[in-house]
A and B are shown apart, each in its own frame.
Chain A
Amino acid sequence: MSEQTLAAAPAGTGLLPRLAWRRLAVFTGLLGLWQAYALWLGNPLLLPTVDTTFAALWSGFASGELVDRTLASLRVLLVGYAGGVAVAALLASFAALSRWGDDALGVLTSMFNPLPAVALLPIALLWFGIGMPSIVFVIIHSVAWPLAVAGHTGFRSVAPTLRMAARNMGLSGPRFVVEILVPAAFPQILSGLRIGWAFAWRTLIAAELVFGTSSQSGGLGWFIYINRAQLETPSVFAGLAVIILIGLLVEGLLFRSVSRLTVQRWGQEQS
C-alpha cells in the first residue's frame, strides 16, 4: 500500500458524514414545508399531509398492491434500460472504430436525440400493440441516444498518447474499445448511464400514464393514474414517493458506489 492511498482514506470518511448530514437537513426541511403548507391549505384532495401520504404508502405496501406495481415498473424499466445500453454500446463502438460509424452516429443522434420518447408512443402502439414491448421500445429510444453521445464524446477525449501506447502493445478492434476506450472514458460513460437512468424513469411513467385504462398489469404510472381518477390523492402522492425513493436509492447506493470504486479510485473524477 502506498502512503498516498493511506493518507487519502481518512479525508474521505471524514467528509462523508458531513455530506449525509446536510442532505438529511434538506430532506427534513422539505418535508416540514410540505406538512405546514398542507395543514394551512386544509384540502386533502389537492394536497394531502405528510402523515396521510405515508399512511397511504404503508397500506399500499401492506396490501401488496404497491409492491406489485413497483416490481412491474422495475421489470419493464430494467429490460428497456439494458436494451438502451446495448444499443448505445454498439453504436459508440462502431463509431470509435470506423469513419462510417462516426458519421452514422452523428446523423442518427442529431435526428433522434431531440425527439421525445413519448412522441414515439403512437408508432410503438401501431407496431407492437399495447403492452410491455411498446414501453420497452420507447425506453430504449430514450436511453440509447444520450448514452451513445456520452460514450462517443468520452471515447473522443481519450488522450492520444494513451491511444498510441495501447496500439503499441498490440491492441486493436473490439479489444481496444473494451479494454482501453471504455475504462478511459468511464467518467463520461458513468454520467451517461445516470442520465439514461433518469430518462428511462421519465419515459416509463409517462408511457404508463398515456396507456391509462387499458393496461392490465400496469406499473407505478398506472397506479398513479387510477388513484387520481378515483380522487385518492394520498395514494397518488404515495406513488410519486416510491419513484423518488427508488431514484434516491439507485443514485445513493448504486451510482455512488460504482463511482467510488472506479473513477475516484483511478483519479479520473471530473469536478
Chain B
Amino acid sequence: MSGLVLEFDSGLAAAKAVPPLLSVTAVTVRYRSGSRDVTAVSDVSLDLAAGERLVLLGPSGCGKSTLLRAIGGFIRPATGHIELKGEAVLGPSPERMTVFQEFDQLLPWKTVEENVAYGLRRARGLPRAEAREVARNWIGRVGLADFAHAHPHTLSGGMKQRVAIARAFAIKPRLLLLDEPFAALDALTRRRMQDELLALCEDTQVTAIFVTHGIDEAIRVGTRILTFSPHPGRIIASHKVSDDERRRGSRAFAGLEARLQEKLFDGRDNADV
C-alpha cells in the first residue's frame, strides 16, 4: 500500500502552473432508459496536460466508455462541463479522434488506404493526392503496407484495429481517445498491439485517453492511471506510472499491478463483473 501515491487533486495543482489541454469539471452523465434515469458517470473531474496518456481503469459497467464518449462530444453531460484548450466541447470533432472497440468503425466500401485517406480529406481537408501519400505512410507504420488495397472485411480483427489507429493518428488530433481498442483480440495480439501503440504514442508525443479494464494494459500504455469505482463511476485514485513500472516483467510492474488490483477490489461493493 505504501508505494501507491494517491493524488486526488494533483490535476488542480498542475492547472495553476500550465493551463491543461483538457479539463473535465464535475461531469455527470445520465442515460434515460425507459422511464428512469441511469447515472453512468457521477461527478467526475479531471485535468489532462499535453503529452500525457491517461488511462481510465475500472470494472465493467462503471461508465468509462460513457465518459470517453462525453469527451468525444457524442453524448452531452447532464451537469458539468468539458473544455479542450479552454473551448467548450459541444459535439464530435476531428480534434478529438476516437478509436472504438468495435471492428465496424471502418467504411467497408473503401480499401485500407482509402479509409485512412478519406479521414484525412474530410477531417483535415487535405487534397486527394496528399491524403493518399500521408495515408500510405501511416499504413506502413502500423505494418499493413501489403494490405493497403484490401477491403476491411478481408482483414482480421487486429488488422482492422490497426487501420482505425492509423486513421486516427494520421488526422493528428489534439487528443486521441481509445475505447478498449484491443478488448476483442487474443492475448498475444493484444500484447503486441499494446507495444506498437506505446511506440507510436512516444514517437508522436500524442495526448491520449485510453479506456481499459485490463490492469496490465493500463500500466503498459499509460503515463497516469485513474481507477474508477463500480457503477456509477467515480474516481477512486490516480497514479503516475514510472518508466520502471512500465517494463513488462519487472518487479515494479508486478508490484503496481498488485496494488491496482487491490484498489479496484476495495472500491467494489458487489462482485459482479
Contacts and interface: CB of A to CB of B under 8 A. Distances in A.
Contacts of A266: 108-109, 151, 153
**Listed residue (A166, A168, A262) with the most chain B CB atoms within 10 angstroms of its CB:** A168
A5 B109 contact: no
Interface in B144-198: 146-147, 149-154, 164, 171
A267 B94 CA distance: 28
A2 B104 contact: no
A20 interface: no
Contact of B151 (A161, A171, A265): A265
A241 B132 CA distance: 51
A265 B108 CA distance: 9
B122 interface: yes
Given A1-B149, A4-B150, A265-B151, A164 B92 contact: yes
A167 interface: yes
A184 interface: yes
Interface stretch (B25-33, B47-55, B95-103, B244-252): B95-103
A248 to B, nearest CB: 28
A2 B147 contact: yes
B107 A159 contact: no
Nearest to A269: B153
B122 A169 contact: yes
B100 A170 contact: no
B150 A169 contact: no
B151 A267 contact: yes
Nearest to B69: A164
A170 B126 CA distance: 13
Contact of B105 (A8, A162, A183, A265): A162
A155 interface: no
B107 A162 contact: yes
Contacts of A184: 107-109
Contacts of A168: 72, 92-94, 96-98, 123
Nearest to A164: B74
A10 B153 CA distance: 18
A218 B154 CA distance: 51
**Listed residue (A8, A161, A167, A262) with the most chain B CB atoms within 10 angstroms of its CB:** A161
A159 B152 CA distance: 15
Interface string B83-126: 00000000111101110101011111100000000110011000
B235 to A, nearest CB: 25
A57 B89 CA distance: 70
B156 to A, nearest CB: 10
A154 B74 CA distance: 22
Contacts of B97: 168
A165 interface: yes
A270 to B, nearest CB: 13
Contacts of B93: 168, 170
A234 B236 CA distance: 86
A268 interface: yes
Contacts of A145: none
Contacts of B94: 168-170
Contacts of B171: 169
A-B pairs, 3 with minimum CB distance: A267-B153, A4-B154, A2-B150
Interface of B: 72, 74, 91-94, 96-98, 100, 102, 104-109, 118-119, 122-123, 146-147, 149-154, 164, 171
Interface of A: 1-2, 4-5, 8, 159, 161-162, 164-171, 180, 183-184, 186, 262, 265-268
12 contacts: A2-B146, A2-B154, A162-B105, A164-B100, A168-B97, A170-B93, A170-B94, A170-B122, A184-B107, A266-B109, A267-B108, A268-B108
